[in-house]
């Protein structure tokens, strides 16, 4: 749906698809139709979503993206129809293990200098 527009890098994203017929009625679950939907994200790094058939005409898509940026989400149906939407993957919270700090200080010899990092 149109509400799926943003997610966060490193946090699994999920959305639900509901199978409908040509008249927008919820399609009756008939079973045995694996691969009815497929979803991919194309952007800084390509990602395929895993699809789970809930067996009630709904499917759950899960995706895990670790590179932030703008992606195109494409959901395809087995009959060849597809829909695309822009999805922004936001950066995760800063990680101390992956953050670098470059500092150049000008100090005078013989004087007390302080530096605070918070």
Q: With bands split at pLDDT 50, 70 and 90, how would you rate the model's confidence at 30?
A: low
**109: Cβ contacts below 8 Å, ≥ 6 apart:** none
Sign of CA dihedral 100, 101, 104, 105: negative
Q: With bands split at pLDDT 50, 70 and 90, how would you rate the model's confidence at 79?
A: confident
Q: Is the pTM of this model over 0.75?
A: no
User: Which of 60, 61, 34, 33 is CA-nearest to residue 47?
Assistant: 61
Tens-digit pLDDT profile for residues 32-44: 556 678 889 999 9
First vs last Cα of the chain: how many Å apart?
41
């Amino acid at each position: 749906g149109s509400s799926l527009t943003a997610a966060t890098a490193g946090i699994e994203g999920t959305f639900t698809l509901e199978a409908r017929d040509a008249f927008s009625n919820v399609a009756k679950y008939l079973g045995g139709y694996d691969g009815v939907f497929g979803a991919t994200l194309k952007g800084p790094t390509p990602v395929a979503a895993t699809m789970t058939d809930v067996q009630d005409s709904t499917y759950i898509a899960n995706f895990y993206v670790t590179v932030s940026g703008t992606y195109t989400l494409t959901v395809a149906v087995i009959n060849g129809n597809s829909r695309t939407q822009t999805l922004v993957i936001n950066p995760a919270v800063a990680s101390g293990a992956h953050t670098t700090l470059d500092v150049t200080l000008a100090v005078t010899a013989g004087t007390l200098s302080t530096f605070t990092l918070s």
